[in-house]
Structure 1
Amino acid sequence: MNIDAYLERALAQKVSRRAFAKRLDMALKRTNTTSGRVAKHLAVSESDVTLWRAGVTTPNGTECSRICSLLHVNVEWLCEGDSDARSHESGKYRRELV
């Protein structure tokens, strides 16, 4: 899968960016992960992560993939909210993310 093309297509609309931001924020809260930790993990600024969480901008494909790995969620869920492709963690966590 070309994750950059997938991400660009999925997040082309402003509404999609806001939905992405909401899911990202939800996953961060569920895992008690700070924007600072994500920024450090990805070697980006904390303000970049803040802009992602606000739905102003979105991460590139590599960054998105690394975020998903850190937060234990699938790219499809984070980008599109696909309920069949949520977290690969425990069932309890998956149900909470829906």
Structure 2
Amino acid sequence: MKIRALNDRLMLTEKGFLDVDGLRGRQWFKHLVFGPPRDQESKLDFFPGIADSMSEMFKMSEKERLAAIQHELWRVARAIQRAASALRGDLA
């Protein structure tokens, strides 16, 4: 039963990194930590939402860019908090 409980917590941890809204402009990608970058020249394959916001920096004003990056950071922080709660067993 302990192994089953640990496995359940690990599955909930992984699900904690999924976001129902998905990535901006690519809603079918739900994982906030791992995913393909929008910019094919980018070598980043982690935190795709943050990487996308940073690569679009020339298309937005400074205020819009900072707001977009801040929003993506908030989404990732929230996902990490969900994953940590799952590991502690708070969500089981």
Structure exhibiting the larger radius of gyration computed from Cα positions: 2
Same fold (TM over 0.5): no
Structure with greater proportional helix content: 1
| Higher relative contact order (Cα pairs below 8 Å, separated by 6+ residues) | 2
